[in-house]
A and B are shown apart, each in its own frame.
Chain A
Amino acid sequence: MSALIEARDLTKRYGSHVALDRATFSVAPGRIVGLIGPNGAGKTSALRSILGLTAYEGQLQVLGREPFRERARLMRDACFIADVAVLPGWLSVENAIDFVAAVHPRFRRDRAAALLGRTGITGKRRMRELSKGMKTQVHLALTMAIDARLLVLDEPTLGLDILARRAFYDALVNDYMDDTRTILITTHQVEEVENLLTDVLFIDKGRIVLDASLDDIASRYGAVAVSADRMEAARAEKPFYERRMLGKMLLYYENPNLERLAAFGEVHTPSVADLFVAKLSGAPE
């Protein structure tokens, strides 16, 4: 099956600042992909380009369309929640449903009503009267009632408390995700989405530094805790990153020789968050 998102040499400049520097990546259908990077790495520029919110250089196809030129058509099959709390204060819940139902051919009103029914938020209320968490639930209900093939989430839980964040991801996984859908998500809370993701894209300084599935990561990366007296031998295996942890050193390897590493201790697959830190912090001196 062909890729849902295909970017080649995707570049975005703001004046002399290069936010995206010839980024090349693709997203296959049915995956949940985390786009992970530090602040200013180009995450938002990448998402904005994919959603047709900004012009870009290079080649980009999303669902077979050029996002910037065909945003309106693209939005029939793709939807996004860019941050929380972008629903305008004057909009009432029922007006929001009426409007989306009127302009979106794939919006299923009954599903939106069912999702909202669970939250107990009544239709007459305006967004400005709702808490941030409630607003997010309304937005999520509106979005999840759309039969879209691609859902893009940009820091969807920013500013939410832990209960609301958990509810958000539970709803996403249990009520929304199925194998006809693809989700692209950016977040700072890597730990929170880690067990949700099937793939990760690490982005740094406008470039993609890792494009891998979690299965790839399991087979390609290993980490092992090494005691101080065996560091010399462990370093000879060329770790790409090391960090101190509880009196030992944690060493990270790409394509490790498992047999030899096993001599130093148990080799485990690094978490996405750890791998991210390791990848972006670079090699030891």
Chain B
Amino acid sequence: MNIPIWLIRREIWENRAIWIIPAVIGGFCILAALFGRVDAIALTSQLPSRAFGGALFAGVAGTYFAVMSIYSTWYLLDCLFTDRKDRSVLFWKSLPVSDTATVMSKLATGLIVIPLLYFAAADLTTLLVAFIVSVRARSIGGGLWHLDLWLQLQVLWLYVIATSAVWYLPIAAYLLVVSAWAKRAVMLWSILPPLGIILAERWFFGSYRFANALVVRLFGLFTLAFHSNPGKSDWFDRLVAEGNDGASAGIWGFLNASGFLSSADTWIGAAAGAALTACAIQLRMRRSEI
């Protein structure tokens, strides 16, 4: 009997969008690959095949990642609210599952399970699209499949999932607090407190420290977790620049795990995330219905 697994399975039963959205994105990509104009490929085949392959891989991955970020945010904001709204919380609480386990399962779903599912969907889509386009563009002479690029992309995905899970923990836990607390309009309630703090800080102190910290938290992961090499700003730029000459645009050199792990911001955020998670658990224990 493995309760955490069943709790996560439960989340996937409830939130079918977890797999429907990636399936739809994949479907569109595959349709585009099957029926898109081959002369468009002919046009871009002026580009070196590696760069084009890289662009394709990164484009699919980027699409999935953007949608995943939005969906995951929505999921975390909604999950503890919706079962209070439909009162099913009274059924879940009649089972011998602690509120800690419940809240942790939602956190894990939002930060790890959903990203991994999107990652798997992105992989599958990339493989199918690369295969279809390679076959269709064969006459024009463009094979898009590059195993080393694909492998590098795997590393990139897993690294981003792992670092995001730590980096965005305070945001995710904050969303759970709102979800466990609000009586209605979770979206509005998630925005109001930070907005209030920003305005109050500006009013009383004339400064923007909280706003800046929030911007760093929301968008700072990539500058912290990746090396920015002067001249060749990131993996993808270098990939395109190096083109088809066979030189590997090695992903490893761009990952800055030690920089990420040694940053105080990482651990201050994680600690804040743990405190907010504890807060969400307490709210979940105390609030059953709306």
Residues of A within 8 A of B (CB): 48, 51-55, 68, 71-76, 79-83, 85-92, 95, 98-100, 102-105, 139, 143
Task: Find out whether the CB atom of A103 lies under 8 angstroms from the CB atom of B95.
Answer: yes
A68 in contact with B13 given A83-B87, A103-B95 (CB within 8 Å) = no
Task: Find out whether the CB atom of B96 lies under 8 angstroms from the CB atom of A104.
Answer: yes
User: In whole angstroms, what is the CA distance A89 to B87 when docked?
Assistant: 11
B120 — which chain A residues lie within 8 A by C-beta?
none
Task: Find out whether the CB atom of B93 lies under 8 angstroms from the CB atom of A53.
Answer: yes
Mark each residue of chain B from 84 to 117: 1 if its CB lies under 8 Å from any CB of chain A, else 0: 0011111101111111010000000000000000
Task: Find out whether the CB atom of A95 lies under 8 angstroms from the CB atom of B94.
Answer: no
Name which of B2, B9, B96 has the most chain A CB atoms within 10 A of its CB.
B96
B95 — which chain A residues lie within 8 A by C-beta?
75, 100, 103-104
State the 3 A-B residue pairs at the shortest beta-carbon distance, nearest first: A88-B88, A72-B98, A75-B96
Residues of B within 8 A of A (CB): 1-3, 6-7, 9-10, 13-14, 16, 83, 86-91, 93-99, 101, 285-286, 288
Q: Out of B3, B97, B288, which one reaches A48, CB within 8 Å?
A: B288
Task: Find out whether the CB atom of A53 lies under 8 angstroms from the CB atom of B98.
Answer: no
Task: Find out whether the CB atom of B96 lies under 8 angstroms from the CB atom of A88.
Answer: no
Residue of B nearest to A143 (CB): B94
Task: Find out whether the CB atom of A75 lies under 8 angstroms from the CB atom of B1.
Answer: no
User: Chain B nearest CB: distance from A201 CB in Å?
Assistant: 21
B89 — which chain A residues lie within 8 A by C-beta?
86
Residue of A nearest to B16 (CB): A90
A90 — which chain B residues lie within 8 A by C-beta?
13-14, 16
Task: Find out whether the CB atom of A82 lies under 8 angstroms from the CB atom of B83.
Answer: no
A85 — which chain B residues lie within 8 A by C-beta?
87
Q: Out of B1, B14, B91, B96, which one reaches A139, CB within 8 Å?
A: B91
B3 — which chain A residues lie within 8 A by C-beta?
102-103
User: In whole angstroms, what is the CA distance A80 to B90 when docked?
Assistant: 9
User: In whole angstroms, what is the CA distance A81 to B87 when docked?
Assistant: 12
Name which of B13, B94, B95, B99 has the most chain A CB atoms within 10 A of its CB.
B94
User: In whole angstroms, what is the CA distance A102 to B4 when docked?
Assistant: 10
Name which of A51, A73, A82, A86 has the most chain B CB atoms within 10 A of its CB.
A86
User: In whole angstroms, what is the CA distance A73 to B98 when docked?
Assistant: 8
User: In whole angstroms, what is the CA distance A13 to B94 when docked?
Assistant: 23
Task: Find out whether the CB atom of A105 lies under 8 angstroms from the CB atom of B96.
Answer: yes
Task: Find out whether the CB atom of B93 lies under 8 angstroms from the CB atom of A105.
Answer: no
Task: Find out whether the CB atom of A72 lies under 8 angstroms from the CB atom of B96.
Answer: yes
A82 in contact with B97 given A90-B13, A91-B13 (CB within 8 Å) = no
A89 — which chain B residues lie within 8 A by C-beta?
86
Task: Find out whether the CB atom of A88 lies under 8 angstroms from the CB atom of B14.
Answer: yes
Residue of B nearest to A87 (CB): B91
User: In whole angstroms, what is the CA distance A86 to B288 when docked?
Assistant: 12
B83 — which chain A residues lie within 8 A by C-beta?
88
User: In whole angstroms, what is the CA distance A80 to B6 when docked?
Assistant: 21
